[in-house]
């Protein structure tokens, strides 16, 4: 135990020295000129296939724009793990920082410092509080997510019947917002579809799995399950794929291709939705480059060209919306690996 | 016959039957469809295996809180093995996971047996250590169903003569451990150690060796449960088995294994596991709202323990009454003297009088 802490302290000291060294060097470069823009991409953590996909998009944008894109990040997605990386980037004087925040406030001070040094900050996937960044590239609007899931389930159950929702935890803000929107939309646009129950799987494989079993048992006429959480949809699909309900009860919602591949291939799941993280990283990097070049400032109404994705407009609170969620099905699931 | 009915296990089995009966009355599909029947047997299988291992540890007056983390680590290991070597036979993967679990259990056991620190503290520590190892190894990575071979995933739901394979595995584990505990010298020594560790040591029982064995067995079974988890759920993230230790300890306690060691059976623990999970599954079916379900489960655990306490008190009163009873003037209410009360235990005259009547 003692040995570990000594080792840790030593590592920290070495790192600190390293950072200082980098800092002075980087500062000098920045003063020299801004022709070679560097964009640092800071995902929640490294080794996460989702962010590997978004970084691929970022690098693609970097190549197209002729800017250097560099990925750094912590091993685990803990709230303040990103702070040292933000500090380093600020000291290096990078043109822009593209970050998926592990915490809306914990990295705020570090981001503010970076911005006062002239670095532009774009958040993507997961936002900080608005005052800490210039632009947030939002993967999808709550309305878009709610609409797309209802569209999918309605299509898969033939427009009428009982459905249920398998959510994450009962106090997950985004889940509850989506569910409320789905309820509204069901009442207004889908009169023949009845939402019979919403259950909570706590984003735990086992709980979600058991809740799915209970749902199917307590509602024998259930025709579809919508799970707006990646853990939930995979667990529901796993249960349905090995039960007599396979092919009779539709499972859809928000999932990742790797988790769902098995169930799309065996016919349990027809289609599910999620944004496309590669596009998300691509757009965030395009926005960062536009900010660093001074083309936009992040004001509402600013417009910029984002390569193959076309033109985007900055909305209220500095938000840029990627668009409607992307639908994954048997035809395209093989193209993705995250 | 009466002693069989009085057994704690009979009470739990009865409760289990009542739960199944009531739920089936409300929703016939709970039992009477192929799916309902399968889930009834299949869902508790993993917890039964864990509870059997935990019962062995608890009988020695210890506890292993790290089983959830051991399960998580071995389940992830199972997935990684299949990713690295997709053609590895399932038996080999299972053996590796069981061995890994046994090793982790042995680490727990060594610290408990040699450092003489309460198992509660040690295994609370290793709970975090083992989970930390899994988190470091897995990060936000996950084992998906597509990463594991189909025959392995099929084991998670396959049935033999209407009984799921995982349930068969759990039953074999239960029978083997029950047989060992009941008949072998080593098994009986575990009870002796749990009843009074100091006395066991004074008597020359190999306390350390037995403790190591108990923890290693608990760990090995958690490893087996990890393999079963991977096969059943098809997805393993770094959070697999999180919080399961509480369910396991709950099952063991509900199953009538005394938390202070020395008494209880693995069959009781297994029944406790089945009861807890069946109640869990039954509550939504009978229409208890999602948010209330945990509260109901908690009340049931407390109820089970309270019942246990009442029964234990009554039994000790009865024993004390039998011991203190003076045949010429038997007064049942007076028999409620606190144990170890008035009459000096083993007093000569009493013995003689009892022998004559």
> Looking at the partner chain, which of A45, A220, A261 has a beta carbon nearest the beta carbon of B144?
A261
Smallest CA–CA distance, residue A123 to chain B, in Å, is: 20
Instruction: For A103-148, write each residue's pLDDT tens digit.
Output: 888 899 999 999 999 999 999 988 999 999 999 999 888 899 999 9
Amino acid B327: pLDDT: 59
Do A238 and B235 lie within an 8 Å CB cutoff? yes
Q: Which of A75, A216, A234 sits opposite B139 (nearest CB)?
A: A75
Per the CB < 8 Å rule, is B39 touching A211? Answer: no
Alpha-carbon gap: A254 to the closest alpha carbon of chain B (Å): 16
Residue B332: pLDDT above 50? no
**Tens of pLDDT along B183-194?**
999 999 999 999
Please count the residues of chain A. Answer: 338
pLDDT at B355: 37
Task: Express each pLDDT in B25-51 by its tens digit.
Answer: 988 888 888 888 999 999 999 999 999
Q: Do B240 and A205 touch (CB under 8 A)?
A: yes
Residue closest to A141 by CA, chosen among A12, A324, A336: A324
Q: What is the pLDDT of residues B266-312, one digit of tens each?
A: 999 999 999 999 988 888 888 887 778 778 778 877 877 787 778 77
Q: Write down the mean pLDDT value for chain B.
A: 86
Contact of B24 with B31, CB cutoff 8 Å: yes
Does B177 reach chain A within 8 Å, measured CB to CB? no
The pLDDT tens digits of the residues spanning A191-234 come to 999 999 999 988 888 889 989 998 998 899 999 999 999 889 99
Q: Which of A278, A277, A281, A321 is nearest to A303 (CA)?
A: A321
Which of the listed CATH numbers 1.10.520.10, 3.40.190.10, 3.40.50.2300, 2.30.30.90 matches domain A142-274?
A: 3.40.50.2300
**What pLDDT is attached to residue B4?**
52
Q: What is the DSSP string of B42-54?
A: HTTHHHHHHHHHH
Every domain of chain A with CATH number 3.40.50.2300 lies at 34-140+277-323, 142-274
Mean pLDDT across A6-23? 44
- pLDDT of amino acid B340: 40
If residue B212 lies in a helix (H) or strand (E), which one and from where to where? helix B207-233
Q: Return the pLDDT at B142.
A: 84
Which pLDDT does position B326 carry in this prediction? Answer: 61
**Chain A residues closer than 8 Å to B156 by CB:** 242
Is the Cβ of A209 closer than 8 Å to some Cβ of chain B? Answer: yes
**Inter-chain contact A47–B237, Cβ cutoff 8 Å?**
no
pLDDT at B65 over 60: yes
Predicted ipTM of the assembly:
0.79
CA distance A27 to chain B (A): 33
Residue B351 has pLDDT above 80, yes or no: no
Cβ <8 Å between A47 and B139: yes
Q: Say if strands A96-99 and A120-124 run parallel, antiparallel, or are unpaired.
A: parallel
Cβ partners under 8 Å of residue A12, min gap 6: none
CB spacing of A259 vs B144 below 8 angstroms: yes
Return the pLDDT at B342.
41
- Is residue B293 less than 8 Å (CB to CB) from chain A? no
Please indicate whether, in this complex, the C-beta atoms of B144 and A77 are within 8 angstroms of each other: no
**pLDDT per residue as tens digits for the range B227-267:** 999 999 999 988 899 889 999 999 998 888 988 888 899 99
> Which of A164, A209, A242 should be substituted to probe chain B, the one whose Cβ sees the most B Cβ atoms within 10 Å?
A242
Tell me whether B278 touches chain A (CB under 8 Å).
no
Cα dihedral B79, B85, B90, B96 sign: negative
Across A271-275, average pLDDT = 94
Read off the tokens for A303: 């417009």
Candidates A268, A239, A273; CA nearest to A256 is A273
Does residue B138 belong to the interface with chain A, where contact is any CB pair within 8 Å?
A: no
For residue B89, give how far its alpha carbon lies from the nearest alpha carbon of chain A (Å): 21
CB contact under 8 A, A258 and B144: yes
Task: Classify domain A34-140+277-323 by CATH number.
Answer: 3.40.50.2300
Determine the pLDDT at residue A149: 96
Sort out which chain B residues have CB atoms less than 8 A from A76's CB and list them: 135, 139
pLDDT at A6: 44
Do the chains contact at B135 and A243, CB–CB below 8 Å? no
Task: Note whether B3 contacts A: Cβ–Cβ < 8 A.
Answer: no
User: Which of A1, A125, A238, A333 to mutate: most B Cβ within 10 Å?
Assistant: A238
Interface of B with A in 144-173 (CB under 8 A): 144-146, 156-157
- Band of the pLDDT at A95, cuts 50, 70, 90? very high
Whether the CB of B289 is below 8 Å from some CB of chain A: the reply is no
Length of chain B: 357
Residue A125 CA, distance from chain mean position: 4
Kindly tell me if the per-residue pLDDT of B226 is higher than 80.
yes
Q: CA-to-CA distance for A62 and A100, rounded, in angstroms?
A: 18
pLDDT digits (tens, 9 = 90+) for B84-102: 999 999 999 999 999 999 9
| A202 near B CB under 8 A | no
Pick the more confident residue, B116 or A35. Answer: B116
- CB-based contact B101:B66 (threshold 8 Å): no
How far A268 CA lies from chain B's nearest CA (Å)? 13
Q: At residue A26, does pLDDT exceed 60?
A: no
- Domain layout of chain B by residue ranges: 2-287, 292-357
What tens digit of pLDDT does each residue of B13-31 get?
A: 988 999 999 999 988 888 8
Count Cβ neighbours within 10 Å for each residue of A257-287 and write b for 16 or more, e otherwise: bbbbbbbbebebbbbbbbbbbbbbbbbbbbb
Give residue B328's pLDDT.
54
List the strands of the sheet with A68-71, edge to edge.
Answer: A68-71, A38-42, A96-99, A120-124, A135-138, A319-321
- Mean pLDDT estimate for chain A: 87
How close, in Å, is residue A172 to chain B by CA atoms?
14
Residue A264 reports pLDDT greater than 90: yes
With bands split at pLDDT 50, 70 and 90, how would you rate the model's confidence at B56?
very high
Q: A35 pLDDT exceeds 60?
A: no
B6: confidence class by pLDDT, cuts 50, 70, 90: low
């Amino acid at each position: 135990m003692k040995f570990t802490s000594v080792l840790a302290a030593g590592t920290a000291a070495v790192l600190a020295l390293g950072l200082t060294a980098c800092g002075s060097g980087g500062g000098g470069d920045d003063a020299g000129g801004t022709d070679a823009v560097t964009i640092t991409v800071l995902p929640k953590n490294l080794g996460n296939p989702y962010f590997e996909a978004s970084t691929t998009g970022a690098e693609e944008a970097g190549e197209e724009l002729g800017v250097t894109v560099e990925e750094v990040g912590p091993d685990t997605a803990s709230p303040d793990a990103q702070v040292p990386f933000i500090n380093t980037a600020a000291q290096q004087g990078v043109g822009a920082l593209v970050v998926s925040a592990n915490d809306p406030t914990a990295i705020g001070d570090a981001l503010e410092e970076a911005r006062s040094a002239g670095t532009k900050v774009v958040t993507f996937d997961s936002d900080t509080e608005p005052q800490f960044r210039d632009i947030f590239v939002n993967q999808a609007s709550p309305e878009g997510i709610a609409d797309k899931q209802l569209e999918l389930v309605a299509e898969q159950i033939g427009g009428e019947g009982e459905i249920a929702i398998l959510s994450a935890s009962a106090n997950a803000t985004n889940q509850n917002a989506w569910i409320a929107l789905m309820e509204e939309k069901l009442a207004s646009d889908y009169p023949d579809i009845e939402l019979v129950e919403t259950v909570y799987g706590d984003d735990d494989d086992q709980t979600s799995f058991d809740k799915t079993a209970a749902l199917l048992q307590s509602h024998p006429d259930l025709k579809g399950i919508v799970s707006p959480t990646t853990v939930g949809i995979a667990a529901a699909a796993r249960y349905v794929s090995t039960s007599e309900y396979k092919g009779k009860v539709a499972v859809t919602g928000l999932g990742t291709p790797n988790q769902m591949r098995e169930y799309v291939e065996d016919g349990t799941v027809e289609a599910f939705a999620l944004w496309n993280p590669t596009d998300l990283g691509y757009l965030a990097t395009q926005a960062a480059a536009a900010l660093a070049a001074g083309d936009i400032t992040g004001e509402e109404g600013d417009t910029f060209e984002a390569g193959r994705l076309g033109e985007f407009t900055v909305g209220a609170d500095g938000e840029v919306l990627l668009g409607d969620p992307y639908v994954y099905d048997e035809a395209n699931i093989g193209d993705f690996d995250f | 016959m009466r002693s069989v009915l009085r057994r704690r296990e009979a009470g739990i089995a009865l409760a289990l039957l009542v739960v199944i009966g009531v739920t089936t009355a409300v929703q016939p599909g709970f039992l009477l469809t192929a799916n309902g029947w399968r889930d009834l047997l299949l869902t508790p299988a993993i917890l039964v295996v864990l509870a059997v291992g935990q019962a062995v540890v608890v009988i020695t007056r210890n506890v292993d809180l790290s089983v959830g983390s051991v399960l998580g680590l071995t389940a992830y290991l199972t997935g990684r093995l299949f990713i690295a070597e997709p053609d590895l036979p399932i038996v080999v993967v299972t053996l590796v996971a069981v061995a890994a679990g046994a090793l982790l259990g042995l680490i727990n056991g060594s610290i408990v047996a040699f450092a003489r620190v309460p198992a509660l503290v040690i295994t609370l520590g290793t709970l975090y250590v083992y989970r930390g190892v899994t988190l470091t190894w897995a990060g936000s990575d996950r084992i998906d169903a597509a990463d594991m071979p189909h025959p392995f995933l099929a084991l998670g739901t396959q049935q033999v003569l209407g009984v799921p394979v995982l349930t068969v595995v759990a039953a074999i584990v239960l029978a083997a451990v029950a047989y060992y505990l009941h008949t072998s010298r080593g098994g009986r020594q575990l009870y002796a150690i749990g009843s009074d560790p100091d006395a066991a040591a004074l008597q020359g029982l190999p306390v350390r060796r037995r403790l190591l064995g108990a923890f290693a067995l608990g760990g090995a079974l958690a490893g087996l449960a990890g393999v079963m988890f991977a096969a059943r759920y098809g997805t393993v993230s770094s959070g697999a088995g999180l919080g399961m230790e509480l369910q396991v300890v709950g099952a063991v306690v509900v199953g009538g294994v005394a938390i202070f060691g020395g008494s209880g059976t693995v069959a009781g623990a297994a029944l406790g596991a089945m009861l807890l999970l069946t109640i869990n599954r039954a509550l939504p079916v009978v229409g208890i709202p999602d948010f209330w379900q945990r509260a109901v489960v908690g009340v049931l655990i407390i109820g089970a323990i309270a019942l246990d306490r009442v029964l234990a008190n009554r039994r000790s009163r009865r024993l004390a009454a039998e011991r203190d009873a003076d045949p010429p003037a038997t007064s049942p209410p007076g028999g409620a003297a606190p144990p170890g009360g008035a009459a000096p235990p083993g007093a000569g005259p009493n013995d003689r009088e009892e022998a004559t009547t």
